[in-house]
Amino acid sequence: MKLRFRTSWLASASSLAIVACPLAAHAQDADTARDTVIVTGVTTPVTEDKVGQSISVISRALIEDQGYNYVPDVMRQMPGAAVSQMGAPGALTQVRVRGAEANHTLVLLDGIDISSPDQNETDFSTLTTAGLDRIEFLRGPQSGLYGSNALAGVVNLISRRELDGHYVNASAEVGAFQTSDIEASAGIGNGAAYASISLNHLASEGYDTSPDQTANGVPAVGVGAQAGDKEGSEITTINARAGMIVTDYLRVNGVARYTTSDSELDGQSYGFPIAGRTYDDPSRSTHEQFVVGASATFDPWDGAWETVLSVSNVDAKRRNWLTDFPFLFGPPVPTPAQLLQVPVYTSGTDSSRFTAAIRSTYAFGDETFASFLTGFAEHEKETYEDAFAVREEKRTLNAFGLQYRAELFKQLYLSATARHDDNDAFQDADTWSVSAAWAIPGVGTRLHASAGTGVTNPTFIEQFGFDPSTFIGNASLVPEEALGWDAGIGQTLLDGKLTLDLTYFSSELENEIFTAFLPTFQTMAMNSGSNSDRSGWEVTVYANPTDDISIYGSYTQLDASEPAGIEIRRPEQQASLDASWAVFGGPVKLNLGVSYTGESTDTDFGSFLRTPVDAYTLVRFGAAWKVSDQIELYGRIENLLDEEYEEVIGYLGAPQGAYIGIRFRDEVKK
C-alpha cells in the first residue's frame, strides 16, 4: 500500500495552526463513521472510527434545521457541555466541559486559537453559526497537542468552503424581541483553487433580564438608565477563506475573520439594600476581534513526507461601560433622582496573539501496520494593554512535541502525543496524551479509550493585575494542571440505522486558580493547594430509522466537586434531543429540539453562599417548506413551553419567541 495524505483538498486546506486541521463533511447517518473525516485531536485527518478520544460532530444540516443561530445553542445539545448565559443573547456566555472551568476549553476556528488573548477564554456570546460547515467537539485533556487552555477539551469551528463546485446561499429571518438575522455566503472551487466568503448581521432588541422591576425601591441606576430597559445586542461577522495548488508539491491556504459585537447589560449589586440582585442600568460592552492566518504545505514525495508552515494573528479590543452600585455599606439610601446621577465608568483592554508553527509528518508501513510520525514546534507571543491605565505587558511561549499514530490490521488504532511548553513568564509545562480505538470487525462494536494531561496558563489579569486598588497581580502563579481519562463502547445496530455510545470519564484538577480576598480589601489570584474531582457518564445516540427521519440525542451525568462542595454552574444531569422529519419524503420538514438542564448550584452574591438553581426544559419546534430547489420558507418557536428559568442567578433566560425566515440556495458539486 502506498500511504498518501493528499487525497483531496479536504485533507490539505486546513493547516493554519501548529497541527493540521483540515476540513471534513459530516453526515447525519449513523453508519458513516468510516467516511466521516475528523480533524480535531490529530495531526493528520482520520475517519471517525479511528479516533480514540471522545468526540461529537454537529453538521450544518442539523444547525439549519433547528435554527441554531448561536454556537452556545449548539453546545447545549452536546454531551459533557454545560452552558451558562448571563441573560439575553450577547451577554457573557461560558461553556464548562466535563465539570471544568470555562477557560479550560480551547476554541478554534479552522485550527486557529480564537480565545481572547487578555482573558485566555472565549466568550461564546460572540460566536454565531453563520458560515460554519460543522462543529467538532473533542472532550478530555488535549494539551499534549494543543497546549494551554485545552485542559478539558477543544471546540473546533470549521467554516464552509466548496473545493470543487460552487454555492451561493442567502437567508433572512425576523422574529421575537425585534430580532433580525441576515446572512449571505458564496464559495467556488475548481479542484486546484477555492475561495469562499460569508457575511452575517444578527441583531435583537432583547428583553429585560432582571427578575425584579424594582428591588427595595431601586428602579434604575446610572446616567441615562431606565427602569425595565431591554438588553439588546448586535453581532456582525465576516469570514473569508482561499487556497490553491501552486505546484504538484506546494499548496497554500489563508483565512481572515472579523467580528464585532455590541451588547447591553444589567448591573448587579453586592451590598445593601438589594444585595445580590440585578438592576436596570446603562451598562454596555463591545468586543472587536480580527483573525488572520496563512499556511504553506510542502508535499514533494506524494504524501510520504508532508511539512506545513503556518502563521496566525489574533487582535482583540474590548470596552466596557459599567455603573458602580452606590451604597455598598448601608444607609442612607439614595433617592431615585440621585441614583440616576451615578456615573458610568469605562474600562477596556487591547490584546493580541501571534503564532508561528511548523509540523512535519512522515508516513511509512503498509495496510497491515501503517505508521504516522509527526514532529511539531510553535512560537507564540501574546501582548496585553490596559487601554486606560496605559500599561503594557507581553509574554512568549516556545513549544515542541511529537505525535505517533499507528493503524493495525484495519481495526486497531493507537495514538500517543507528548509536548513541552517553555514559558518565559511562569513555570514550564510538560503534557501528554494516549488513545486507542478498536473497531471489532463484523459486529459493529467499537471500543475507545484515552488518557492525558492538560494545562491552563494564568491570564494576563491574574498575573499582572487589573486595578491596583482592587485586584493586584500575582507573578508567582503556576499553570493549572489536570490528569484525566475516559473509556467507552460504541455499538451500531439495525443495519447501521442506530448508533449508541456510552463513555465514562474522570479527571482531577491541581493548582486551581481562585480569587483570594486580602486583609487590605484587595483581591489577588492564587493557586489552590487542594484538588478538584470530576467524573461522570456520557451517552450519545445517532439514529436514522427511515430515510426521512434523523435523530441525535445525548445525556450527561456529572459529579464535580471541590473541597468547598459542589462546583457551581455544573448541572448534575443534562439531556438533549434533536429530531427532523421530511414528511413522507415531501417538501415539508418538521423539526424538534429539546434540552433538559438539571438542578445545579450558583453563587448568590447577596450572601456569597452556594444556592440551588432549579432544573428547566427548553423546547423548540419548527417547520420548513421547500418551495423549489432553491427557495425554502421556515419558521420556529423557541421555548415553546414558555418556561421561566435562570442559567445564572439574577438573570432571566429568554421567554417564548417565534421566528420566520427564507433561505436561498444555489449549490453545484462537480
User: Which one, of 217, 259, 254, lies nearest residue 237 by Cα?
Assistant: 259
User: What span, in angstroms and rounded, lies between the C-alpha atoms of 185 and 161?
Assistant: 10
- Please name the residues in contact with 520: beta carbons below 8 A apart, sequence gap of 6 or more: none
Single-letter amino acid, residue 530: S
Peptide bond into 571 cis (omega under 30): no
Read off the C-alpha cell for 609.
453562599
Mean pLDDT of 21-43: 53
User: Which one, of 3, 10, 4, lies nearest residue 253 by Cα?
Assistant: 10
Tell the burial category of 380 from Cβ atoms under 10 Å away from its Cβ (0-12, 13-18, 19+): buried
Note whether 122 and 100 are within 8 A (CB). no
User: What span, in angstroms and rounded, lies between the C-alpha atoms of 245 and 325?
Assistant: 59
At residue 4, the pLDDT reads 38
At residue 298, the pLDDT reads 95
Instruction: Please state which of the ranges 369-383, 489-503, 594-608 shows the lowest mean pLDDT.
Output: 594-608
28: left (phi over 0), alpha (psi -120 to 50) or beta: alpha
Mean pLDDT of 654-666: 96
3-state DSSP call for residue 369? Answer: strand
Mean pLDDT of 80-96: 93
Is the pLDDT at 567 greater than 50? The verdict is: yes
The residue to which cell 505546484 is assigned: 247
At residue 468, the pLDDT reads 61
User: Which one, of 584, 583, 594, 493, lies nearest residue 553 by Cα?
Assistant: 594
At residue 17, the pLDDT reads 38
User: What span, in angstroms and rounded, lies between the C-alpha atoms of 558 and 539?
Assistant: 12
Mean pLDDT of 109-119: 91
What are the structural domains of the chain?
Answer: 9-669 (2.40.170.20)
- Sheet strands (E) in 208-343: 231-247, 250-264, 267-268, 278-279, 284-298, 305-323
At residue 327, the pLDDT reads 66
At residue 493, the pLDDT reads 94
Single-letter amino acid, residue 607: S
Note whether 449 and 487 are within 8 A (CB). yes
Instruction: Please state which of the ranges 19-28, 264-273, 480-489 shows the lowest mean pLDDT.
Output: 19-28
User: Which one, of 411, 423, 454, lies nearest residue 41 by Cα?
Assistant: 454
What would the DSSP string read from start to end of 94-112? Answer: EEEETT--GGGEEEEETTE
Residue 420 neighbours by CB distance under 10 Å? 14
At residue 236, the pLDDT reads 97
Give the CA angle between residues 228, 229, 230 to the nearest 5°. Answer: 120
Instruction: Please state which of the ranges 31-40, 387-396, 418-427, 442-451 shows the lowest mean pLDDT.
Output: 31-40
Mean pLDDT of 405-424: 96
Is the pLDDT at 3 greater than 80? The verdict is: no
At residue 210, the pLDDT reads 87
At residue 270, the pLDDT reads 78
DSSP 30: T
User: What span, in angstroms and rounded, lies between the C-alpha atoms of 256 and 275?
Assistant: 45
**C-alpha separations of 555 from 79, 302, 503, 574, 601 in Å:** 6, 43, 11, 6, 19
pTM of structure: 0.92
User: What span, in angstroms and rounded, lies between the C-alpha atoms of 592 and 66?
Assistant: 7
Whole-number percent of the chain with pLDDT over 90: 69
**C-alpha separations of 72 from 180, 201, 261, 267, 640 in Å:** 18, 17, 15, 23, 18
User: What span, in angstroms and rounded, lies between the C-alpha atoms of 43 and 149?
Assistant: 18
In terms of pLDDT, which residue wins out, 637 or 221? 637
Is the CA virtual torsion 605, 606, 612, 614 positive or negative? Answer: negative
Is the pLDDT at 308 greater than 70? The verdict is: yes
Q: How confident is the model at residue 561 (pLDDT cuts 50, 70, 90)?
A: confident
The pLDDT tens digits for 457-481 are 999 888 887 666 678 888 899 999 9
Mean residue pLDDT of the chain comes to 89
Is the pLDDT at 434 greater than 90? The verdict is: yes
User: What span, in angstroms and rounded, lies between the C-alpha atoms of 619 and 615?
Assistant: 14
Is the pLDDT at 304 greater than 60? The verdict is: yes
Give the CA angle between residues 639, 641, 642 to the nearest 5°. Answer: 65
At residue 339, the pLDDT reads 84
Phi, psi of 301 (to 5 degrees): -115, 35
Phi, psi of 647 (to 5 degrees): -90, -30
Residues in a beta bridge with 5: none
Phi, psi of 486 (to 5 degrees): -150, 160
- Please name the residues in contact with 183: beta carbons below 8 A apart, sequence gap of 6 or more: 130, 131, 169, 170, 171, 172, 198, 199, 200, 201
At residue 35, the pLDDT reads 62
User: What span, in angstroms and rounded, lies between the C-alpha atoms of 38 and 55?
Assistant: 9
User: What span, in angstroms and rounded, lies between the C-alpha atoms of 34 and 58?
Assistant: 16
- Please name the residues in contact with 344: beta carbons below 8 A apart, sequence gap of 6 or more: 222, 223, 224, 281, 282, 283, 321, 322, 323
User: What span, in angstroms and rounded, lies between the C-alpha atoms of 525 and 597?
Assistant: 31
The pLDDT tens digits for 121-180 are 999 999 999 999 999 999 999 999 999 999 999 999 999 988 899 999 999 999 999 999
